[in-house]
Amino acid sequence: MQSVLDIKNLTVRFATADGEVAAVSDVSLSVGKGECLGIVGESGSGKSQTFMAAMGLLARNGRATGEVMFGYMNLLTAKEQTLNTVRGNKLAMIFQDPMTSLTPHMKVGRQLTEVLVRHCGLNAAAARTAAIEMLGRVRIPEAARRFDMYPHELSGGLRQRVMIAMALLCGPELIIADEPTTALDVTVQAQILALIRSTREEFNTSIILITHDLGVVAGLADRVAVMYAGRIVEIGDVDQIFNAPRHPYTKGLLACTPRLDDPATATLATIPGQPPNLQHLPRGCAYHPRCPYVMDRCRVESPKLLPTGAGQNACFLDDLDVRAAS
Ligand code: SF4
């Protein structure tokens, strides 16, 4: 499959009063044309910072090294003006809270038409027509009336649809959706996920779906990367991750995810302990203080992400499996 985004050895460090902290360490992944890649992990696992770095949106004290290829362009070394153009046209981002991305004192319609005029070269009349049409395509009822409303006059679900409409305006090749449904109730969440699914089918857009909730990527993602303490610990096809997870952390996340087809999961487990403080990562495998399978080796050595059949996994248990099989 042709790649749209190729990340190689991405490391993101932040300068803090207590020294440098690595929020993302040596992450490599790619996203294919029309593919949906889910990125899951608890908060602080580095999933958002990986893509904020890729988009050139790190906080001022952040520094990224490695390579983020979008087509022939390395986004980490691109000039700010080039990045602005790419972010408006080919790469779009949808955030958890649309109010952080929509301008509160500007009508929805104007915010949409400005994108079309500035990034897609449309005149005002054509931009108005295209914006209302896009609001209709993301199933906003009475699109022409909503066009003249301010963001605060819309419900949370409608605001998120406006954000998706804005992301789609210039026909992006890749949409990065960061916790796009976290702030919404369950019914609206299902509607927005269905909209993202149909968007991908209709426009053949590649999607990176970042979430703390494995349930959100079920039925939507083709592949899933699981992050812990700034690293990818497992990556694989969605079926493998859900039905035959290898990494103990992936298994722990799944145990915390209710399954609609299994009422027994109504009482959910939680992963014992807390995600590590990135400033004081434990020696060895970062997951070892919480891992039910911890071995002596895990306390001193850090497992590498290695191929395992269809996917990749970073756990010493794989060595035992190989030995048992040989
Ligand atoms: Fe658990 Fe060890 Fe595997 Fe880390 S390497 S996940 S501590 S078994």
- The domain ranges of the chain are 3-90+170-259+269-325
**Residue 291: CB within 6 Å of ligand 1?**
yes
Minimal-distance CA residue to ligand 1 atom 7: 288
Percent of the chain with pLDDT strictly greater than 90? 61
Confidence of residue 67 (pLDDT cuts 50, 70, 90): very high
Residue, of 202 and 153, whose pLDDT is higher: 153
Q: Residues 161, 139: contact at Cβ < 8 Å?
A: yes
Q: Does the C-beta of 285 come closer than 6 Å to ligand 1?
A: yes
b/e map of 197-235 (b: 16 or more CB within 10 Å)?
A: eebbeebebbbbbbbbbbbbbbebbbbbbbbbbbbbbbb
How many angstroms separate the first and last alpha carbons of the chain?
Answer: 33
Has residue 98 got a pLDDT over 90? Answer: no
Across the chain, mean pLDDT equals 90
Look up the CATH number of domain 3-90+170-259+269-325: 3.40.50.300
Q: Span 166-187, mean pLDDT?
A: 85
Q: Give the pLDDT score at 186.
A: 80
pLDDT: is 4 or 185 the higher one? 4
Residue 37 tokens read as: 């890649």
Check if 162 has its Cβ closer than 6 Å to any atom of ligand 1: no
- The verdict on the CB of residue 294 being under 6 Å from ligand 1 is yes
Lowest mean pLDDT among 65-69, 104-108, 231-235, 262-266: 262-266
Higher pLDDT, 272 or 109: 109
For a substitution probing ligand 1, which of 228, 246, 285 has the most ligand atoms within 8 Å of its CB? 285
- Confidence band of 196 (pLDDT split at 50, 70, 90): confident
Atom of ligand 1 nearest to the CA of 286: 4
CA 52–ligand 1 middle distance (angstroms):
28
